Structure 1
Amino acid sequence: MSQAHLSLGTSNEFIARHIGPREADISAMLALTGHDSLEALIASVIPESIKGTSVLDLPAGQGEAEALAAIKAIAAKNQLFKSHIGQGYYPCHTPPPILRNLLENPAWYTAYTPYQPEISQGRLEALLNFQTLVSDLTGMEIANASLLDEGTAAAEAMTFCKRLAKNKRSNAFFASRYCHPQTLDVLRTRAEPLGIEVVIGDEHEIDDASAYFGALLQYPATDGDIFDYRELVERFHAAGALVAVAADLLALTLLTPPGEFGADVVLGSAQRFGVPLGFGGPHAAYFATRDTFKRDMPGRLVGISIDRHGKPALRLAMQTREQHIRREKATSNICTAQVLLANIASMYAVYHGPQGLAGIARRVHRLTAILAQGLTQLGHQVEQYHFFDTLSIVSSTTAKEVHAAAQATRINLRVLDDVRVGISLDETCDAASVEALWSVFASQGQTLPDFKALAASTGDCLPSKLLRESAFLQHEVFNRYHSETELMRYLRKLADKDLALDRTMIPLGSCTMKLNAASEMIPVTWPEFGALHPFAPVEQSQGYLELTNELEAMLCKATGYDAVSLQPNAGSQGEYAGLLAIRAYHASRGEGQRDICLIPQSAHGTNPATAQMAGMRVVVTACDARGNVDIADLKAKAEEHQNRLAALMITYPSTHGVFEEGIREICEIIHANGGQVYIDGANMNAMVGLCAPGQFGGDVSHLNLHKTFCIPHGGGGPGVGPIGVKSHLAPFLPGHCHMERKLGAVSAAPFGSASILPITWMYIRMMGGEGLKRASQLAILSANYIARRLEEHYPVLYTGENGLVAHECILDLRPLKETSGISVEDVAKRLIDYGFHAPTMSFPVAGTLMVEPTESESKEELDRFCDAMIRIREEIRAVEAGELDQDDNPLKNAPHTAAELVGEWTHRYSRELAVYPTASLIDGKYWPPVGRVDNVYGDRNLACACLPMSAYQDA
Structure 2
Amino acid sequence: MNAPLKHTSEAATTFVRRHIGPSPRDIGAMLETVGAKSLAELMGQTLPSSIRQKAPLDLGRALSETEALAHMTALAAQNQVFTSLIGTGYSGTILPAVIQRNILENPAWYTAYTPYQPEISQGRLEALFNFQTMICDLTGLDVANASLLDEGTAAAEAMALAERASQVKTKAFFVDAEVHPQTLAVLRTRAEPLGWNVVVGDPLTDLDKAEMFGALLQYPGTSGVVRDLRPAIATLRAKGALAIVTADLLALTLLASPGELGADIAVGSAQRFGVPMGYGGPHAAYMAVRDALKRSLPGRIVGLSVDSRGQPAYRLALQTREQHIRREKATSNICTAQVLLAVIASMYAVYHGPEGLTHIARTVHRRAAVLAAGLRKLGFAPRSDVFFDTLTVDAGGKQSEIVARAVAERINLRIGNGMLGIALDETTTAETVEAVWRAFGGKLAYAEIEVGVRDTLPAELKRKKAFLAHPVFHAHRSETELLRYMRKLSDRDLALDRAMIPLGSCTMKLNATTEMIPLTWPAFGSLHPFAPREQAAGYHALFARLEKWLADITGYDAVSLQPNSGAQGEYAGLLAIRGYHAARGEPHRKVCLIPSSAHGTNPASAAMVGMDVVVVACDARGDVDVDDLRAKAEKHSKNLAAVMITYPSTHGVFEEHIRDICDIVHQHGGQVYLDGANLNAQVGLARPGDYGADVSHLNLHKTFCIPHGGGGPGMGPIGVRAHLAPFLPGHPFTDGATPHPVGPVSAAPSGSASILTISYIYILTMGGEGLQRATEIAILNANYIAARLQPHFPVLYRNAKGRVAHECIVDPRPLKNSAGVTVDDIAKRLIDYGFHAPTMSFPVPGTLMIEPTESESKMELDRFCDAMIAIRNEIAEIEAGRWKVEVSPLRNAPHTVHDIADDAWARPYSRAEGCFPAGVSRSDKYWSPVGRVDNVYGDRNLVCSCPPVTDYAEAAE
TM bucket, shorter chain: over 0.9
In 2, the alpha carbon distance for the partners of 1:817 and 1:414 equals 63
Q: Which is worse superposed, 198-207 or 728-737?
A: 198-207
- What amino acid sits opposite 2:428 in the alignment? C
DSSP-derived class of the 1:382 partner = coil
Superposed displacement of residue 738, structure 1 = 1.5
The correspondence for 1:592, drawn from 571, 587, 604, is 587
Query: Which residue of the partner structure matches residue 918 of structure 2?
Result: 918
TM-score (norm 1): 0.97
**1:598–1:270: structure 2 CA closer, same or farther, 3 Å change rule?**
same
SS of residue paired to 2:691? coil
Q: Residue in 1 aligned with 2:307? A: 307
Counterpart AA for 2:846: G
Aligned to 2:405: 405
Task: Report the Cα offset of residue 71 of structure 1.
Answer: 1.5
Distance 1:804 1:768 in 2: 27
Aligned counterparts, 1:843-882, within 5 A:
843-882=842-881
For residues 635 and 10 of structure 1, the distance between their equivalents in structure 2, rounded to whole angstroms, comes to 49
Alpha-carbon contact 1:167-1:210 (below 8 Å) kept: no
Could you tell me which amino acid in structure 1 is paired with residue 435 of structure 2?
A
- Judged with a 3 Å threshold, the aligned counterparts in structure 2 of structure 1 residues 505 and 527 are, in CA distance, closer, same or farther, namely same
Q: Mapping of 1:229-628 within 5 angstroms? A: 229-417=229-417, 419-442=418-441, 446=442, 448-628=443-623
Deviation at 1:10, TM superposition (A): 5.1
Q: Please tell me whether the aligned partners of residues 469 and 948 of structure 2 are also in contact (alpha carbons under 8 angstroms).
A: no
Name which of structure 1's ranges 10-19 and 27-36 shifts more when overlaid on structure 2: 10-19
Preserved contact between residue 328 and residue 604 of structure 2 (Cα < 8 Å): yes
Whether the 8 Å CA contact 2:147–2:300 is kept in 1: the answer is yes
Give me the whole-angstrom Cα distance separating, in 2, the residues matched to 1:899 and 1:486.
26
Contact 1:379 1:396 in 2 (8 A): no
Asked if 2 retains the 8 angstrom alpha-carbon contact of 1:209 and 1:235, the reply is: no
Measured against aligned partners, the alpha-carbon deviations of 1:353-377 in whole angstroms (never above 9, x if no partner) come to 0000000000000000000001101
Structure 1 residues 112 and 28, CA, compared in 2 at 3 Å: closer, same or farther?
same
1:312–1:951 Cα contact (<8 Å) kept:
no
CA contact (8 A) 1:210 1:241 kept: no
SS at match of 1:521: helix
Counterpart Cα distance in 2 of 1:232 and 1:594 = 40
Q: Which moved more, 1:945-954 or 1:826-835?
A: 945-954
1:141 maps onto 2:139 in alignment: no
Is residue 125 of structure 2 the alignment partner of residue 130 of structure 1? no
The amino acid of 2:599's aligned partner reads H
Q: Distance in 2 between matches of 1:210 and 1:915?
A: 65
Taking the aligned partners of 1:836 and 1:552, their CA distance within structure 2 comes to 36
Q: Distance in 2 between matches of 1:844 and 1:10?
A: 40
| Cα distance in 2 for residues equivalent to 1:226 and 1:235 | 19
Output the CA distance in 1 between the equivalents of 2:369 and 2:946: 36
Q: Is contact 1:55-1:558 (8 Å) kept?
A: no
Displacement of 1:451 in angstroms is: 2.0
> How many residue pairs get matched?
943
Q: Could you give the per-residue CA deviations for residues 358-403 of structure 1, whole angstroms, max 9, x where no partner exists?
A: 0000000000000000110111121111000000011345211111
Q: Which residue of 1 aligns with 2:825?
A: 826
Compared with structure 1, are the counterparts of its residues 199 and 55 closer, same or farther at alpha carbon in structure 2 (3 Å cutoff)?
farther
Q: Which AA in structure 2 matches 1:356?
A: G
Normalising by structure 2, we get a TM-score of 0.97
Code of the aligned partner of 1:350: V
Instruction: Measure the CA separation in 1 of the matches of 2:592 and 2:13.
Output: 45
Query: Which aligned pairs between 1:171-250 and structure 2 lie closer than 5 A?
Result: 171-206=171-206, 208=208, 210-250=210-250
Runs of 5+ unmatched residues, structure 2:
1-7
Asked if residue 653 in structure 1 is aligned to residue 654 in structure 2, the reply is no
Partners of 1:896 and 1:9 in 2: CA distance? 47
Structure 2 counterpart of 1:823, one-letter code: T
Aligned counterparts of 1:377 and 1:887: Cα–Cα separation in 2: 79
Q: Which amino acid aligns with 1:477?
A: V
- Cα offset, 1:884, TM superposition: 2.1
1:812 aligns with 2:807: no
CA drift at 1:531: 0.3
Note if 1:933 corresponds to 2:928. no
The CA distance in 1 between the partners of 2:499 and 2:675, in whole Å, is: 28
CA distance in 2, matches of 1:209, 1:818: 64
Q: Mark the runs of 5 or more structure 1 residues left unpaired by the alignment.
A: 1-6
Single out whichever of 244-253 and 69-78 deviates more from structure 2. 69-78
- Tell me the secondary structure at the aligned position of residue 351 of structure 1: helix
Contact 1:353 1:478 in 2 (8 A): yes
**Contact (CA 8 Å) 2:556, 2:719: kept in 1 or not?**
yes
Separation of aligned partners in 2, 1:236 and 1:947: 31
The one of 685, 688, 712 aligned to 1:690: 685
1:692-720 residue CA offsets vs partner (Å, 9 max, x unmatched): 11110100000000000000000000000
Q: Which moved further from structure 2: 57-66 or 656-665? A: 57-66
Contact 2:833 2:920 in 1 (8 A): no
Q: Which amino acid aligns with 2:873?
A: E
Q: In structure 2, how many angstroms separate the alpha carbons of the residues matched to 1:119 and 1:490? A: 17
Pairwise CA distance, 1:953? 14
Post-superposition shift, 1:59? 1.3
Query: In the alignment, is the contact (CA less than 8 A) between 1:885 and 1:908 conserved in 2?
Result: no
Aligned equivalents of 1:150, 1:706: Cα separation in 2: 21
Residues 85-116 of structure 1, C-alpha deviation per residue, up to 9 Å, x if partnerless?
Answer: 11100010000000000000000000000000
User: CA, structure 1 residues 207+522, in 2 after alignment: closer, same or farther (shift >3 Å)?
Assistant: closer
Q: Distance in 2 between matches of 1:11 and 1:41?
A: 24
Aligned match of 1:104: 105
Give 1:4's aligned residue: none
User: Structure 1 residue 919: deviation in Å?
Assistant: 4.2
Partner in structure 2 of residue 883 of structure 1? 882
In structure 2, the residue matched to 1:52 is 53
Q: Deviations over 1:514-536 (max 9, x none)?
A: 01000000010011100000000
Name whichever of 610-619 and 393-402 sits farther off: 393-402
Retained in 1: the 8 A contact 2:113–2:711? yes
In percent, how many aligned pairs have the same letter? 63
The root-mean-square deviation of aligned C-alpha atoms, in Å, is 1.5
Shift of 1:450: 3.5
- C-alpha displacement at 1:456, in angstroms? 2.6
- Equivalent position of 1:838 in the other structure: 837
Whole-angstrom CA distance in 2 between matches of 1:230 and 1:864: 61
What is the CA–CA distance in structure 2 between the aligned matches of 1:416 and 1:257, rounded to whole Å?
Answer: 29
Secondary structure (helix, strand or coil) at the match of 2:130 reads helix
Q: State which drifts further: 941-950 or 536-545.
A: 941-950
Deviation string 1:471-514 (CA, Å, 9 cap, x unpaired) is 00000000111111111000000000000000000000000000
